[in-house]
Amino acid sequence: MNVLQYVNPLQGTASTFRFSNGNTLPLVARPFGMAAWSPQTDEAGKGWFFHPSHRHFEGIRLTHQPSPWIEDYGHLTILPQTGPLIVSAAKRSSSFRSEDMSIKPDYFRVKLRRYNTLLELSPTERCASMRMTFEAIQEARVLVAPFAGESSITIDPGRRRLTGYTRANSGGVPENFAMYYVIDFDCDLDVQASGTWDQDGKASIHLHEVGNRTSAFIGLNIPESGEVNLRIGTSFISLEQAITNLTQEIGSKSFDLVRAEATQAWEETLNRIQVEDQDEDKISTFYTCLYRVCLFPRMWHEFTAQGEKVHYSPYNGQIVKGPMYCDNGFWDTYRTSYPLFSLLFPSRLGEILESYVNAYKEGGWMPKWSSPGERSAMPGTLIDAVFADAFVKGIEGYDVQSAYEGLLKHASQAAEDAHFGRKGVRAYQAFGYLPADQFHESVSNTLDYVYGDFCIAQLARSLGKDEEYTLLMDRARNYAKLLDPSVGFMRGKRADGSWDEPFDPIEWGGAYCEGGAWQCSWAVQHDIVGLAESMGGKDVFLARMHELLSTAPLFKVGSYGLEIHEMSEMASINFGQFAISNQPSFHIPYLFAAVGSPAGTQYWVRKTAKELFSSAPDGLPGDEDNGSLCAWYIFACMGMYPLCPGVPEYVIGSPMFERMTLHLEKGKQIVIEAACNAPNNCYVRSVQVNNESHQPLFFTHDQLIDGAFIQFDMSDIPQVKHVEDKNLPYSMSVR
């Protein structure tokens, strides 16, 4: 099935610093590939270096940027040029017509009007094949421009080759970090028209230079056909390894063959899920979201000439055996991306987890936000949930004992370097929460620690660590320490036990991360029933959920001091205080089902997916964040959601396609059919699994991974009936 035709990499790219429609890049890459490529239209925009409304092209950019807030590393741009040599990004740029630029996961093409040149690119995992077709063959050259940082350039006319490295980065790297690259040309180089330029734009006819942002211009003796092919290899290990990568992945392959292989790689990956429906816009949104899920985390390991898997460690600067994956924020991705991997790519997930164990062994701490090393962004240590979820689902391929050791370390020990581990771990152990008068974002961090402890406990139980299991499960109840019954929200508490004053549920910041009390009081995925009982019972809890979704989307900027983009995005839609634009709200629609009211879940999940997602440049309701938001949409379409990673269950939602088939690794299938599905038929009348009636409001992972035939009967009328506790999704207080 040809599904690549439905993917639009421009999804979410119509974003700015102040308002996110995804904050994505139109990446041309292999699935989970180390090297990604994107058009650059505005270098001055820093993390926002591309926008679909721009009509000037500054170069095709080798990028490793996972988020505009994290920015790039090991990056450079490549541009064909004719006429006078002009090197600054803004001045060298060429206009293009929108219809002259094509961006697909496997292929990029743009016609540069200023230079009358066609540029094409197709990626491999660590390399790329590039084809340039010049209409004017005189005064033709290629510009290679790294970014700020030490850069080395060597032009070798005899070998028709350029080699170099760049140390450009935005943090999270050892001192010896470099991205090495080699570019082979299939035409002779014009030595007299080749050279370098420095950070000030001063050009010189030198074939070798080292300096800050040293860049290269390579004169070309173009054949009469006007066609020049470039083969580009990259490595974080060495120049020799970049050449090895180029030999292994491209060698003598033609551009068209590289493109055909890239197409096949994406078709095989995306066809893990096949959907059937009359609505092609919905199909396009689905496969575009699945493409985004399969970009991160990024492979960082490479293969020696002997086939050995090795990597440069962004944690200790050494060359180490084994896998490595980078560019992931676990605060975002634990909720949706990794649970989806457990179904679609369990073998790769095992390799990813082994790489995180390697990160622990190399750096001494489990990663929290890697790009490529530790960036220490966002609350908590939610890699806890990534490992727990994989462990309870039987994912193999990693050192479980070492994983547990690393997780327990940050749950029990303070790091000397605040970039690592949990901040305030001693205070958390002493109080059972982080005091708001001592720690920023105290509520968000505390709730993430509490849930993280629950997750680590799942490994402790199976590994026979009984004392540690008991301690961690006791701490998993600490969320109650921050629940103020008088206001019905989680609230900052001081070291003396008094509540932080004043309190306003629409004020953001302070004790909360990227939200306020309305958004951040529900991060108790492991005990929603217990939370409801603490608030006065399920009826009170449901009333609060309805209030959340009907309260005007008002906010106060609070400690942020300005309107951050998440506030703007929530205020731009009529979904109450439900800020689907940010991860703490992802599970909110599923809380209805968690306490036995599935119709509320079905209505709000369907409404959110239908109204707020598309494949368009403005097609996402907030930061996409390494696949996490798009994976939310994939689960919404499936009619299920991993409410509590660390528990092998998926709460039932509202399926969106007439038929969906998931092709599992071991040859089994999950087939999901939705009879009587229609735009207004969001409610589930009944469910059958393998032709038997299914009463629980969840599916187990074992039910799915062994292959399942799931039949939903849909209706436009909500079903109201009593749900026994045994049929509710997992809550620690119930089972």
Q: Residue 137 pLDDT > 90, yes or no?
A: no
The three-state secondary structure class of 408 is helix
**What is the Cα 318 distance to its own chain's centre?**
26
pLDDT at 336: 98
pLDDT at 51: 98
The whole-number average pLDDT for the span 679-686 is: 96
pLDDT at 653: 98
Express each pLDDT in 59-68 by its tens digit. 999 999 999 9
The whole-number average pLDDT for the span 1-20 is: 97
Express each pLDDT in 96-113 by its tens digit. 999 999 999 999 999 999
Q: Which tokens is 618 given?
A: 């403005």
Q: Which tokens is 96 given?
A: 């293009």
* Identity of the residue numbered 456: I
Residue 430 neighbours by CB under 8 Å, 6+ apart:
none
Express each pLDDT in 145-164 by its tens digit. 999 999 999 999 999 999 99
Region for 511 from its dihedrals, namely left if φ exceeds 0, alpha if ψ lies in -120 to 50, beta otherwise: alpha
Identify the DSSP state of 49: -
Q: Residue 735 pLDDT > 90, yes or no?
A: no
The whole-number average pLDDT for the span 712-725 is: 95
The whole-number average pLDDT for the span 306-313 is: 98
Torsion of CA 638, 643, 649, 652, to 10 degrees: -40
Residue 683's beta-bridge partner residues?
715
Identify the DSSP state of 213: T
Q: Is the Cα dihedral 430, 431, 433, 438 positive or negative?
A: negative
pLDDT at 213: 98
Map tokens 């239908």 to a residue: 610
The phi and psi torsions of 607 (rounded to 5 degrees) equal -60, -45
pLDDT at 1: 81
Cβ neighbourhood burial of 623 (10 Å; 0-12, 13-18, 19+): buried
Tally the residues of the chain. 735
Q: Residue 396 pLDDT > 90, yes or no?
A: yes
Pick the closest to residue 81 from 208, 230, 270, 220 (CA basis): 220
Q: Is the pTM of this model over 0.75?
A: yes
Q: Residue 427 pLDDT > 90, yes or no?
A: yes
Domains and CATH numbers, the chain: 4-270 (2.70.98.10)
Q: Where do runs of H (alpha helix) occur along 294-399?
A: 330-333, 337-344, 346-363, 383-392
Percent of the chain residues past pLDDT 90, beyond the cut: 99
Residue 493 neighbours by CB under 8 Å, 6+ apart:
433, 435, 436, 442, 481, 482, 499, 500
CB burial of 549-563 (b: ≥16 within 10 Å; e: otherwise) equals: beeebebeebebeee
The three-state secondary structure class of 370 is strand
Q: Residue 458 pLDDT > 90, yes or no?
A: yes
Q: Which tokens is 331 given?
A: 């605060």
Q: Residue 330 pLDDT > 90, yes or no?
A: yes
Q: Which tokens is 392 given?
A: 């309870």
Map tokens 């985004």 to a residue: 292
**How far apart are alpha carbons 218 and 190 in whole angstroms?**
7
Tell me the pairing of strands 669-675 and 708-715: parallel
The whole-number average pLDDT for the span 458-487 is: 97
Pick the closest to residue 241 from 187, 326, 178, 327 (CA basis): 178
pLDDT at 650: 98
**How far apart are alpha carbons 703 and 729 in whole angstroms?**
15
Identify the DSSP state of 729: P
Pick the closest to residue 227 from 89, 80, 113 (CA basis): 80
Q: Residue 247 pLDDT > 90, yes or no?
A: yes
**How far apart are alpha carbons 425 and 475 in whole angstroms?**
12
pLDDT at 314: 98
